[in-house]
Amino acid sequence: MMQNFSLRAGTIIDHAARYHPGREVIGRSVEGPIVHSNWQEVRRDAKRLSAALQGLGVQKGDVIGVMAWNTVRHLAVWYGIPGAGAVNHTLNPRLFAEQLVYIINHAEDRFIMVDPDLLPIFEAIIDKLPKIEKIIVLTDRAHMPESPLELLCYEELLEGQPDDAPWVEGDENDPCGICYTSGTTGNPKGVVYSHRSNVLHAMAAAAPDMVNISSNDRIMPVVPLFHANGWSIAYSAPMAGASMVMPGRDMTAAGLYEMLEMGVSFTAAVPTIWLGMLEHLKSGDLKFSSLKRVLIGGASCPRAVIETFQNDYGVQVLHAWGMTEMSPLGTICSFKPEVNALSPADRLTVQETVGHPPYTVDLEIMNDMGECLPWDGITQGRLMARGAAVVQRYLKGDGDAVDTSGWFDTGDVAIIDANGYVRITDRSKDVIKSGGEWISSIELENCAIAHPGVAEAAAVAVPHPKWGERPVLVIVPSAGQDPDKGEIMSLLENRFAKWQLPDDIFSVEALPHTATGKISKLELRQQLEDQGYKLPQ
Ligand code: ADP
């Protein structure tokens, strides 16, 4: 008989502080200067916060909303809140005010913890948040902002608190964190991660065929902690005993590059960040001195980005797919032996897929009748998932979010090949159905982006009397360029059948984006409709 080791979040930071105590955790602080800390100090601050919160009356199961940049302090908050038995509700500052009001009230947040520069967001909406009792500003006394609100100062709260009081005990299935989906249709939905799901997810994510991190790595999450469980890096990095760099709020390519040059070996963000970074490197004739691997996910990563990182900068790309409901990791494109045996060009084509899942994630593609489809590298179906860190039911949801066999419909359309590699072709609501056949908007976009004059591209369906829908490609030109439409069409012709080609290509100054930086196809379709857009005859 074996011991029952409770999979609680506190065990992760306990492990890091005990076995990797001096491992550096460096960050750009909200006050400006770079701070140097380590796992022992992060744990000490988490312990102090946990005690302070309990002193303020926080009870087990209470929800605390956190709106903060990726800082060293924010890491301590990630452990201090669950350490007090409370639940860490991550808040995205880019959400519209009414969405924030909705999710804060829906999750019943009692306290708010907020970076000083983000406080005005709460000043504007506080009268719509009747349940908020206290607002804690994540800074020291000297940097406390002027405000009409009654505020508590984080560093003052921590003063004099015990460094090593025990974590609040509980079941490993207790809630640990909440993250809302951005809700392109309807209200956002809350996903409640348990201590157990977070620990299992971090273990699965850290494995060699996944993000492959160890105590020899220095990890910089560019992806904000408030986006999809922060891709779990605040758990997997200390679990592996890795060093970390927290970039703070300066998300410009120059600011991020400066932080990457602090010995970072591994980093993670959505493709848009890397498009900007590659531009910055090129224009300044810069190189990375320590970066070895980059995790790119959240939206499809164009082939050109993968190629440039690997061939020009010697940085291995890990293309990943996931979603808030999956904590978020679904798959990562690492090379199995079958792929290692391929030519470099064929391996690059494999990297356009999002790879394969870790242990704890199981996938299927299904048709509309719920029948499993073959993994033949051709057949498209609804991508279904189940696993140890996949949502079962949304917060206050009526009924389960899964079917009777436990499958969660990801809302994505995908192809799986014989090696178990997944290719995401669309979101089911963005799929373009022409004459009964599906055309992949993601593939059209990725192909168009390969043209140097195209900064961003979106393929959307426009209603057509004969074919039902036809694709239209909307592009944003790169700075100072006016790309030739005929050239873009030629690029597409090399890769797509004639009936899959867009009926029209046109330029716009900017595309609409969601709070997580993705192109909002819903809004774009709406814009075209509002403008009375007509397909060329
Ligand atoms: P939000 O919609 O709030 O940004 P998520 O981050 O949970 O929420 O988004 C998950 C969705 O992002 C997936 O269902 C999928 O459509 C898309 N996505 C994530 N990674 C990839 C990828 N590598 N390729 C294509 N689509 C992706």
- Say yes or no: CB of residue 518 within 6 Å of ligand 1: yes
> 364 CB less than 6 Å from ligand 1?
no
CATH code at position 105 = 3.40.50.12780
DSSP states along 204-223: HHHSTTTT---TT-EEEE-S
Domain final residue, candidates 171, 192, 213: 192
Tell me the pLDDT band of 517, cut-offs 50, 70 and 90: confident
515 within domain boundaries: yes
279 in a structural domain: no
Mean pLDDT for 470-493 is 94
Whether 299 lines ligand 1, by a CB cut-off of 6 Å, is yes
Q: Ligand 1, closest atom to CA 326?
A: 7
The answer to whether position 427 is within a domain reads no
SS3 239: helix
Name the phi and psi angles at 522, rounded to 5: -60, -50
Residue 437, in any domain of the structure: yes
In a domain, 319, yes or no: no
Query: Which residue, 164, 192, 220, sits at the end of a domain?
Result: 192
- Residue 424 Cβ inside 6 Å of ligand 1? The answer reads yes
- Confirm if 317 and 463 have CB atoms less than 8 A apart: no
pLDDT on residue 184 = 62
Q: How far apart are the first and last CA of the chain?
A: 74
User: How does pLDDT run across 101-112, given as a tens digit for each residue?
Assistant: 999 999 999 999
Q: What is the pLDDT of residue 171?
A: 98
For 306-364, write each residue's pLDDT tens digit. Answer: 999 999 999 999 999 999 999 999 999 999 999 999 999 999 999 999 999 999 999 99
Distance 300 CA to ligand 1 centre (A): 8
DSSP three-state, residue 26: strand
Domain boundary among 192, 216, 238: 192
Residue 517 lies in a domain: yes
pLDDT 10s digits, 199-215: 999 999 999 999 999 99
Of 442, 278, 23, give the one whose Cα is nearest residue 294: 278
Classify residue 329: in a domain, yes or no: no
CATH, residue 446? 3.30.300.30
Q: Residue 428 pLDDT more than 90?
A: no
**Counted domains in the chain:** 2
Tell whether 247 is covered by a domain: no
Q: Which long-range contacts (CB under 8 A, 24 or more apart) does 124-128 make?
A: 124/97, 125/97, 125/100, 125/101, 128/101
Domain coverage including residue 494? 432-530
The CA 515 to ligand 1 mean position distance, Å, reads 12
Nearest C-alpha neighbor of 388 from the set 365, 359, 366, 364: 359
Q: Distances in Å between the alpha carbon of 471 and those of 263, 429, 459, 504, 505?
A: 45, 14, 6, 8, 9
- Note the pLDDT of residue 515: 83
β-strands 437-439, 408-416: how paired? unpaired
Q: What mean pLDDT value characterizes the chain?
A: 96
Q: 445-480: per-residue pLDDT in tens?
A: 999 999 999 999 999 999 999 999 999 999 999 989
How far apart are alpha carbons 206 and 12 in whole angstroms?
A: 13
